[in-house]
Amino acid sequence: MLRNAMQPGNEKGSVKIHHEHRWDLSLSEAREIQKDLAQYVVEMPLDRPISAIAGVDVSVKANRVRAVVAVLSYPELEPIDKSVWEGGATFPYIPGYLSFREIPVLLNAIAGLRTEPDLFITDGHGRAHPRRFGLACHLGVLLDIPTIGVAKSRLTGIHEDPCQEKGCSVPLLDAKADECIGAVLRTRTGVKPVFVSVGHRVTLNDAVEITLRCTTRYKLPETTRWAHRISREWRVEGGEWRSEC
């Protein structure tokens, strides 16, 4: 998707949206969109090599939303591009509906990239969601690009505890549906696990493997950590964004 939308010559690109919809929605309308778009989530092996992988961060202060996209080389995990965009919050914070608050600003930040990501890792859930359509799924389906959800806490499902060693994982299950919706993954020995799930166009095994390869010294993937870092180090000065990194 972005490969066709990005402009040549390392210029900033635009974003082509698949399954476009309104963002000024009631809660019931948002729920119906999740149920409708969930049918377009595809779980499949990666269909091309990954050389650039992106992490995202969205923060809110005084009803202003700041979206950051950090692009890292893969597997080296060296930062190669970043984009920041700020705007007004258009949807309230409601657990289970995070994507409606974050994706409108994320799309603007993504359009500011000069490097096309091959895959996104979100700081939120994918299929491990009550309606099987978390932030990673929503972003992946709209962009038709591989996405992985890596969340710090559980939103739904049951699981056993993985062993304490890095790399140990157990299934995250929806007991009522008798379905595996993700994996509970220990990314650092002796530290609380993360919750990994398919967003779009990856398998759960791919998602777990890539998440482990993107976690080095810390609990969270380097993609997410870089996006957090850039968000902290940017400040408003004279109405313009300036980077301190």
Q: What is the pLDDT of residues 8-20, one digit of tens each?
A: 333 455 688 999 9
Q: Which two tokens stand for residue 100?
A: 């409606």
CA gap 169, 187 in Å, rounded: 9
- Residue 5's pLDDT is what? 34
Contact 15, 110 (CB under 8 A): yes
241 within some domain: no
Residues 6+ apart with CB under 8 A from 42: 200, 201
Contact 81, 114 (CB under 8 A): yes
In a domain, 24, yes or no: no
Q: Which domain holds residue 48?
A: 44-233
Residue 3 reports pLDDT greater than 60: no
The structural domain count of the chain equals 1
| Gap between the terminal Cα atoms of the chain | 30
Give me the count of residues in the chain: 245
Q: How far is CA 83 from the centre of its chain?
A: 15
27 part of a folded domain: no
Task: Indicate whether 25 belongs to any domain.
Answer: no
Task: Note whether residue 176 is domain-resident.
Answer: yes
Output the average pLDDT for the chain.
Answer: 90
For residue 13, the model assigns a pLDDT of 58
Q: Look up the CATH number of the domain holding residue 153.
A: 3.30.2170.10
Task: Give pTM, 2 decimals.
Answer: 0.90
pLDDT in tens, 86-117: 888 888 889 999 999 999 999 999 999 999 99
Residue 112 included in any domain: yes
Residue 21 maps to a domain:
no
> What residues pair up with 243 in beta bridges, in sequence order?
234
Is 13 within the bounds of a domain? Answer: no
For 37, other C-beta atoms within 10 Å of its C-beta total: 20
Give yes or no for a contact between 206 and 42, defined as CB atoms under 8 angstroms apart: no
